[in-house]
């Protein structure tokens, strides 16, 4: 059970890390020089590996190691980023995602041998073109370049050869954010298989720079410096010491000087820093496991004690500046929270003077060479950065319940408000108003919980566009505007597929190949812009390209051929463009690799409609096309109009109603073979709910007409009576009733009765289809309204 929970947490964490990894890889390509970015990306892979190993998913950890290793080489400057490499890494990430999902579904996906090989060959490749880099001053005599050659002489460990195997070794949960400088435990040369199997931590890349003498580690020296809040967080550092004792023989010492005077002492704070000498056979991974739970706010520095008494830095936990990073930039100013690097013996005392608890005790390797001048800014940015904003995880079901409750409260409040009419009610007016205010606040707050920035969705498309550009041979620049706009989580989740579809369309149909663009006087690189923003109480999302624009001539020809529009319809008819939303309508005659897989814009349109949104298109020939989604902010609650029709009460979403007019005195007139009414001089087709619901009985003297917009055209829906405005908490109808398109759900009214929510645009479509049976020859007037 507990294990299951850990697994669940891992899956969630892994998904986030995978997103981070993907974004990082995408950015890596664009901002190759940005070191901070690279570090973050590396850290995502690294954390994922650690997390996987922690929950026992060794194969995932192993596979991740391959990715991590490549990123590590990029960090150390041994590999130059190129597009193919990013492609490989992205594919590996995708496979990793599949592995994670496979595990979570209980059907594990094996690691891809092909991808592992490709990652490995990237690593091998690093030897070839980094020789000059490797030639930088590495004091130990072993020439690194030679060591790196895959066919190296036996003297230096065959580090590179071992690397691919390393990917197949149990991962090392808290391996250092590997830096080029501190060398790792060296190994004596041995056959690669054996090396991989017996020495799992074949992070040999670092080992190659070691000198041969005195490099035998006899134990570890660990500096453990708990952060000021360690005790307050309920972490007991003594437990860590006990765990270390279990690993082998320990000598633990601390510096009493660090303890302040009694009147200054803060009993809730840990003032001590321990120096632990540990003699053990345990591999460093085991050591790092010990610190797994304290590394968040404790500074831990592990170094190996070599036979000749020297210390070699081994690992730094999160919260420590990367010793390598420090080493890389010798003049780097200490970070605000970091004590200046001090040689180990002095380290314990560092900071005691000024009373500050030394948080960080890196143990730099004395002979660490300055490898690459990194700007102070870069190393500061490279500091283990937290994600910019914390996110909370909320159980979706609980959250929905909360939203439902809040909605009910509002309904109750509405109900009470109705009692105002009673003249004796004056006494509770105050309470009533307070209830009203509170209930609305609760609603707003809970709804807020469901809102997420569209960035979660948009940022995915960098990858999509990149892949599409790769495959289509077009050059595309993706621009994103307004990614902070918030939308209901459910909407954001369901927008993904429609948007991918549109983007795919844009790449495949709309954007011209570079040469063609140049000929037309456009820039070589095509542009796709995703924009999100508020439009009244809705959110509008535009997917815009600067490609060819829709070919109206061709659309109208197809429309005529398929009998969707009357022959002779001019191409500039405003409704022509809506033809592309007709089922099965494609202006593309050939099915390309990218799109045209039988899914048309009608599907996109339907899925947007299911979210109570609308989809429109704007297009200028030669300039480009924009698809605009208009979506409600949330799905959970709507402002509705309660109406009566056919003896029942129904709720109509207010956003679908433009206007209500009384029908008395303007009797329906048959125009163009269907009932129409004239509203302020405009002839509006009319749909009667009574007809649709097949109710007979007395027609009320006065009917009400709800004017709605359907496919860019005004349509009136006649109902018997308007009852009033309601706030409706939408509940889905059972599965069996989803075939009834005309209802988008149901809601419970203040009096406890259930009312169905009408989707006016579905009602209009349905009624038009029904009418078509009635009129033998549909004229253009009727057909035109079928446009969606």
Q: Which residues bind other proteins (CB under 8 A)?
A: 404, 408, 646-649, 692-695, 731, 733-737, 739-740, 742-743, 745-748, 752-756
Smallest distance, other proteins to C-beta of residue 755, A = 7
Smallest distance, other proteins to C-beta of residue 289, A = 35
CA separation for the pair 299, 273 (Å, rounded): 9
Smallest distance, other proteins to C-beta of residue 734, A = 5
> Of the two residues 625 and 755, which places its CB atom closer to other proteins in the complex?
755
Smallest distance, other proteins to C-beta of residue 445, A = 20
CB 126 within 8 A of CB 75: no
CA separation for the pair 640, 755 (Å, rounded): 11
Question: How is residue 228 written in tokens?
Answer: 């000021």
Question: How is residue 738 written in tokens?
Answer: 């989803």
Q: Is 226 helix (H, G, I), strand (E, B) or coil?
A: strand
CA separation for the pair 777, 783 (Å, rounded): 10
What is the separation of C-alpha 363 from the centre of its chain, rounded to a whole number of angstroms? 37
CA separation for the pair 81, 29 (Å, rounded): 7
> Of the two residues 311 and 689, which places its CB atom closer to other proteins in the complex?
689
The order of strands in the sheet holding 538-545 is 476-481, 526-535, 538-545, 624-632, 614-620
Provide φ and ψ at 656, rounded to 5°. Answer: -90, -10
> Of the two residues 423 and 773, which places its CB atom closer to other proteins in the complex?
773
Smallest distance, other proteins to C-beta of residue 652, A = 14
For residue 691, give every residue at least 6 positions away whose Cβ sits within 8 Å of its Cβ, in sequence order, or none. Answer: 767, 770
Smallest distance, other proteins to C-beta of residue 158, A = 51
> Of the two residues 7 and 286, which places its CB atom closer to other proteins in the complex?
7
> Of the two residues 294 and 403, which places its CB atom closer to other proteins in the complex?
403
Half-sphere exposure of 43 (CA within 13 A, CB side): 16
CA separation for the pair 586, 564 (Å, rounded): 13
Work out the angle between the directed axes of helices 2-30 and 58-75 (0-180°, nearest 10): 30
Smallest distance, other proteins to C-beta of residue 754, A = 4
> Of the two residues 394 and 737, which places its CB atom closer to other proteins in the complex?
737
Beta bridge partners of 716: 686, 707
> Of the two residues 485 and 755, which places its CB atom closer to other proteins in the complex?
755
> Of the two residues 460 and 649, which places its CB atom closer to other proteins in the complex?
649
CA separation for the pair 54, 47 (Å, rounded): 10
Smallest distance, other proteins to C-beta of residue 782, A = 22
Question: How is residue 103 written in tokens?
Answer: 């595990």
> Of the two residues 153 and 732, which places its CB atom closer to other proteins in the complex?
732
Let me know how long the chain is. 788
Smallest distance, other proteins to C-beta of residue 770, A = 11
Smallest distance, other proteins to C-beta of residue 399, A = 15
Provide φ and ψ at 599, rounded to 5°. Answer: -100, 120
**Could you give the residue ranges of the DSSP H alpha helices within 76-204?**
83-105, 113-129, 131-134, 144-148, 159-166, 192-198
> Of the two residues 321 and 407, which places its CB atom closer to other proteins in the complex?
407
Q: Which residue has the tokens 């597929």?
A: 497
């Amino acid at each position: 059970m507990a294990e299951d929970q850990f697994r669940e947490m891992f899956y969630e964490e892994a998904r986030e890390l995978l997103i981070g990894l993907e974004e990082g890889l995408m950015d890596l390509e664009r901002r190759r020089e940005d070191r901070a970015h690279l570090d973050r990306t590396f850290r995502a892979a690294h954390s994922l590996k650690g997390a996987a190993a922690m929950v026992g998913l060794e194969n995932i950890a192993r596979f991740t190691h391959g990715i991590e290793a490549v990123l590590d080489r990029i960090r150390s400057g041994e590999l130059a980023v190129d597009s193919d490499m990013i492609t490989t890494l992205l594919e590996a990430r995708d496979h990793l995602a599949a592995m994670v999902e496979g595990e979570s579904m209980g059907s594990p996906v094996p690691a891809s041998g092909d991808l592992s090989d490709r990652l490995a060959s990237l690593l091998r490749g690093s030897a070839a073109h980094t020789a000059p880099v490797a030639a930088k001053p590495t004091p130990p005599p072993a020439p690194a370049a030679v060591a790196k050659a895959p066919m190296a002489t036996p003297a230096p460990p065959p580090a590179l050869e071992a690397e691919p195997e390393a990917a197949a070794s149990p991962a090392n949960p808290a391996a250092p954010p590997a830096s080029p400088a501190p060398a790792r435990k060296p190994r004596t040369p041995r056959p690669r298989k054996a090396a991989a199997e017996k020495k799992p931590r074949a992070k040999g890349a670092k080992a190659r720079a070691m000198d041969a003498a005195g490099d035998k580690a006899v134990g570890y020296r660990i500096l453990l410096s708990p952060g000021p809040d360690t005790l307050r967080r309920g972490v007991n550092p003594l437990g860590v010491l006990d765990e270390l004792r279990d690993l082998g023989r320990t000598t633990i010492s601390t510096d009493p000087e660090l303890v302040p005077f009694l009147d200054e002492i803060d009993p809730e704070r840990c003032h001590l820093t321990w120096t632990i000498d540990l003699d053990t056979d345990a591999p460093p991974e085991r050591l790092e496991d010990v610190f797994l739970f304290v590394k968040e706010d404790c500074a831990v520095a592990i170094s190996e004690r070599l036979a000749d008494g020297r210390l070699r830095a081994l690992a730094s936990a999160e919260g420590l500046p990367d010793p390598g990073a420090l080493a890389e930039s010798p003049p780097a100013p200490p970070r605000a929270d970091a004590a200046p690097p001090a040689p180990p013996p002095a380290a314990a005392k560092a900071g005691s003077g000024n009373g500050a608890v030394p948080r960080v005790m890196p143990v730099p390797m004395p002979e660490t060479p300055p490898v690459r001048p990194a700007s102070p800014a870069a190393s500061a940015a490279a500091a283990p950065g937290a994600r910019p904003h914390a996110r909370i995880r909320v159980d979706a079901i609980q959250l929905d319940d909360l939203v439902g409750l809040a909605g009910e409260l509002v309904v109750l409040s509405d109900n009470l408000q109705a009692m105002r009419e009673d003249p004796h009610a004056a006494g509770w007016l105050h309470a009533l108003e307070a209830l009203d205010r509170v209930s609305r606040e609760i609603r707003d707050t809970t709804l807020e919980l469901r809102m997420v920035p569209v960035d979660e969705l948009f940022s995915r498309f960098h990858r999509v566009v990149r892949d599409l550009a790769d495959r289509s041979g077009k050059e595309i620049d993706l621009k994103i505007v307004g990614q902070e706009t918030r939308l209901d989580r459910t909407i954001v989740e369901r927008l993904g597929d429609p948007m991918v579809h549109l983007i795919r369309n844009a790449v495949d149909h709309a954007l011209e190949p570079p040469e063609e663009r140049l000929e037309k006087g456009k820039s070589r690189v095509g542009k796709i812009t995703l924009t999100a923003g508020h439009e009244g109480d809705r959110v509008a999302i535009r997917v815009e390209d600067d490609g060819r624009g829709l070919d109206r001539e061709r659309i109208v020809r197809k429309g005529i051929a398929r009998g969707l529009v009357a022959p002779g319809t001019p191409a500039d008819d405003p409704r022509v463009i809506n033809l592309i939303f007709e089922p099965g309508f494609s202006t593309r005659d050939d099915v390309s690799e990218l799109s045209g897989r039988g899914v048309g814009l009608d599907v996109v349109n339907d899925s947007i409609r299911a979210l109570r949104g609308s989809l429109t298109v704007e297009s200028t020939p030669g300039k480009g096309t924009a698809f605009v989604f208009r979506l409600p902010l949330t799905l959970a609650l709507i402002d509705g109009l309660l109406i009566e029709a056919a003896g029942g009460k129904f709720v109509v979403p207010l956003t679908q109603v433009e206007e209500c007019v009384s029908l008395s005195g303007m009797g329906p007139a048959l125009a163009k073979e269907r009932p129409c009414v004239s509203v302020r001089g405009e002839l509006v087709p009319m749909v009667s709910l009574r007809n649709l619901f097949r109710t007979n009985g007395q027609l009320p003297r006065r009917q009400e007409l709800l004017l709605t917009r359907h496919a860019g055209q005004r349509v009136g829906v006649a109902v018997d009576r308007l009852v009033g405005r309601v706030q409706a908490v939408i509940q889905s109808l059972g599965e069996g009733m989803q075939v009834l398109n005309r209802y988008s759900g149901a809601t419970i009214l203040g009096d406890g009765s259930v009312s169905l929510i009408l989707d006016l645009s579905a009602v209009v479509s349905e009624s038009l289809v029904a009418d078509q049976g009635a009129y033998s020859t549909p004229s253009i007037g009727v057909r035109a309204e079928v446009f969606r």
